[in-house]
Structure 1
Amino acid sequence: MRSPRRRGREAARPGRRPHPTVRAPGGGAHVRRVLVTRPDGRELCAKLRALGWEAVAVPTVAIVPVAPGGDLDRVARRLEAYDWIVVTSAHGAQALAAALARTGAPRPTRPRWAAVGPATARALQAAGVQVAVVPARYLTAAVAEALGPVEGLTVLLPRADAASPELPRLLRARGAQVEEVVAYRTVEGPERSRLPLQRALMDGIDAALFTSPSTARGFWRLAPEPHRALAGVLVAAIGPVTAGALRALGRPPDVVAEEHTGDGLVAALAAAASPPVR
């Protein structure tokens, strides 16, 4: 016999469309199944499961390394030329570390390193880099302020091909000489995630976590009817930039994390929704 929860979902959805149990944020919403869209979602899923939620990982963005022998390797060989190296994601940190390893370039001693947040700082530290600056607010724009005076200084930004232009614009406005290099590429809506996402939506989700504008756009590329798929679902954004992307897509988030990290996102979900009773 089917469980009451499964039967209730199927009776309420034409064509097996999910009918989640979530209610309005702040009103004691009951959330059981949480969709995690980030490409490296294992740690986030583990934290959700530890609190009693059922985490469903479907990356709506794929991370693709750049080919060896390109601009990233060229830059890796001359890191001593920069005053600052500003890294805005753990993927960027790992990509630059890999370029250093395959080119055999010596570890630079001149530049100071800045990380957008604690996860990026940990990735740099794992590569043997001493991080000088992590802004109090984990936003790319906050990095520009955290560096202090940068007029006349050279700043390297190893980033995704789809990174926002805001940070280089802010740094150049303050007089820095900025060089950007693509450290990795993002594929929004990777085809291999299409069927897993459809299955997750068919089974029903109660909340969806978006950790970057790319994860939001990737969801929209993959879901057959994204607005309908998120109807009645608690939508949570890791920060204001991701929230802005969701608004641009026509689905404002219900929750925006105050601390723009995975931990902050879990805390925001916990404040808005009740984990299922074990």
Structure 2
Amino acid sequence: MPTSDRNHGIVYLIGAGPGDPGLLTLRGAELLGRSDVVLYDGLSNADLLRHAPSAKHICVGKHGQQRIWRQDEIIAEILIHAQNGLRVSRLKGGDPAVFARTAEEVDALRQADVPFEIVPGITAALAAGSYAGIPVTDRKLASAVALITGHEEPGKSESALDWEALARFPGTLVVYMGVTTAESWTQSLISAGKSPDTPVALIRRCSHNDQQTIHCRLDKVADSLTPASKFRPPVIAIIGPVTELAESMNWAEHRALFGQTILVTRPAEQAEALASPLRDLGAHVLLQPAIAIGPPDDWGPVDQAIADLNACEILIFCSRNGVRYFLDRMMDRVGDIRHLNAPDIAAVGSQTAETLKEYYLNADIMPDNFSADSLAKLLAPGVEGMKITIVRASRGSDTLASTLQSAGADVTQVVAYNNVDVPQAAPKIAEALSNGQIDWVTVTSSATAENLHRLFGDHLKTTKLASLSPITSQTLTSLGYQIDAEADPYTMKALIEAIQADAK
């Protein structure tokens, strides 16, 4: 593997794939994690930057949003950082070896004696075929495939492409970067003998959750693509009879939530548990935490509760955060899970119980419908005189504690973590919501509901609201909002199923 020397860093030319961040190679993710600087452009999904959290991120341009850097500017920026001894990643959409101008960057690196590594990526032609249900080769229809640029180097006196040979090509043609030049390359093919009624599939933003596909004839491509504002880049054109297989093989655009934009508002460290299955169903997921989670202001009460565990008869966890903060603190203080050997353990919900299993603990008590009220009713008849510790957040309902106290229990509530409002929403999220570009907002607690109301106000009425529980729904209703989907039982899985049911 290439290594840096005393004078230079190293440059990684990484294929970012077609758009879906899950299609990055393992090697690409590994090298991003080592990087000090990452240069990326509009064809590279910015979500990939999470693999390089400590690196400096430099955007070298995005169509329609900011100036596109010239190639010489990009090369100069790479060299500056590499020659300062840094590890530089250049994220390139698709594969670095396919219409990506990688040779120019490699030449510059060699001349500067800077070591480099090229990491393959999934090129757009192959991804577009797979995500649109089009096999670019087929035993009956096409035994070969040709990749063609629709945007040759400016200044050429004549095209380097043999249009007559391409018109006779016995297989599938795939055109990259052909939006603004559609009239030229389609007419070149037709003039060279390609039938005007040859089927074509135009795939925009392949593998993204807003992927779009147009099927048309070769002589109708220009009408579908130009002006560029009609069907904006990036677009791949697949030409040939294989495109007609899309009707039976298209899977991506048939997913249950394809085309839906869903805002997940859970705390940052918990968001992926909801976001990931939504993406699997085809949704375009945006993240805007409404609540932030952190350690308590004072560990003293938690430490005292840990010291008194032998006297505790029932230890109740109200959330998965409570499990983690309390038990991690206990392990830091005591160093042995066996310290938790006296009390019965109760969990309000299934996810809380699953989190206990991460610490090799099983919940002895759990209500059927995963609510604090139900747990209170379940425990109340037999708790008189018992010592009970409730591990909870810094805010939330006191119903569980008051019900058990009324039943004669000696109850201690312990704040194991802080639950605070996020003070401000990301401007892009606020803009998308105000413009009606978000189909669903998930609301997973009353505190979340209240802060979303503060952050967005009436703009929340431009979207549908999915609530995790009747208590959350009641809070939303009291704030003047309509509930469009409610989980039953009160789990993330059920919340997703409620959104799916409404979307049918």
Deviation, structure 1 residue 105: 5.9
Does residue 166 of structure 1 match 2:166? no
Deviation, structure 1 residue 129: 2.1
| Whole-angstrom distance in 2 between the partners of 1:133 and 1:62 | 28
Task: Report if the CA contact (8 A) 1:66-1:185 is conserved.
Answer: yes
Task: Report matched runs for 1:198-209 at 5 Å.
Answer: 198-201=430-433, 204-209=437-442
Q: 1:123 to 1:264 in 2, by over 3 A?
A: same
Counterpart in the other structure of 2:418: 185
SS at match of 1:230: helix
Deviation, structure 1 residue 4: 7.8
* 1:57-98 deviation digits (Å, cap 9, x = unpaired): 111110121146421122122211111011110001111111
| Whole-angstrom distance in 2 between the partners of 1:254 and 1:242 | 13
| Whole-angstrom distance in 2 between the partners of 1:134 and 1:3 | 55
What amino acid sits opposite 2:464 in the alignment?
L
Deviation, structure 1 residue 54: 1.1
What is the aligned residue count?
Answer: 248
* 1:114-141 deviation digits (Å, cap 9, x = unpaired): 1111110111121232210121011111
Deviation, structure 1 residue 31: 6.3
Does residue 86 of structure 1 match 2:319? no
Q: What TM-score do you get using the length of structure 2 for normalisation?
A: 0.47
Question: Which among 252, 259, 265 is matched to residue 37 of structure 1?
Answer: 265
Task: Report if the CA contact (8 A) 2:259-2:284 is conserved.
Answer: no
Question: Which among 372, 375, 381 is matched to residue 140 of structure 1?
Answer: 372
Q: Which has the larger radius of gyration?
A: 2
Counterpart in the other structure of 2:129: none
Gaps of 5+ in 2: 1-227, 233-256
Question: Which among 240, 260, 267 is matched to residue 490 of structure 2?
Answer: 260
Counterpart in the other structure of 2:300: 70
| Whole-angstrom distance in 2 between the partners of 1:242 and 1:83 | 30
Counterpart in the other structure of 1:19: none
Q: 1:172 to 1:140 in 2, by over 3 A?
A: same
Deviation, structure 1 residue 244: 1.1
| Whole-angstrom distance in 1 between the partners of 2:298 and 2:229 | 53
Name the structure, 1 or 2, with higher relative contact order (CA <8 Å, separation 6+): 1
Task: Report if the CA contact (8 A) 1:88-1:159 is conserved.
Answer: yes
| Whole-angstrom distance in 2 between the partners of 1:197 and 1:141 | 34
SS at match of 2:382: coil
Q: What TM-score do you get using the length of structure 1 for normalisation?
A: 0.82
| Whole-angstrom distance in 2 between the partners of 1:235 and 1:3 | 32
What amino acid sits opposite 2:348 in the alignment?
V
Task: Report matched runs for 1:99-248 at 5 Å.
Answer: 99-104=329-334, 106=336, 107-147=339-379, 149-191=382-424, 193-195=425-427, 197-201=429-433, 204-223=437-456, 226-227=457-458, 229-248=459-478
Task: Report if the CA contact (8 A) 1:31-1:207 is conserved.
Answer: no
Counterpart in the other structure of 2:481: 251
Deviation, structure 1 residue 202: 5.2
Q: 1:3 to 1:177 in 2, by over 3 A?
A: farther
Deviation, structure 1 residue 245: 1.0
Deviation, structure 1 residue 146: 2.9
RMSD: 2.3
SS at match of 1:182: strand
Task: Report if the CA contact (8 A) 1:76-1:105 is conserved.
Answer: no
Most deviating of 248-257 and 88-97: 248-257
Deviation, structure 1 residue 242: 0.5
Question: Which among 267, 270, 274 is matched to residue 500 of structure 2?
Answer: 270
Q: Could you tell me the percent identity over the aligned residues?
A: 30
SS at match of 2:480: coil
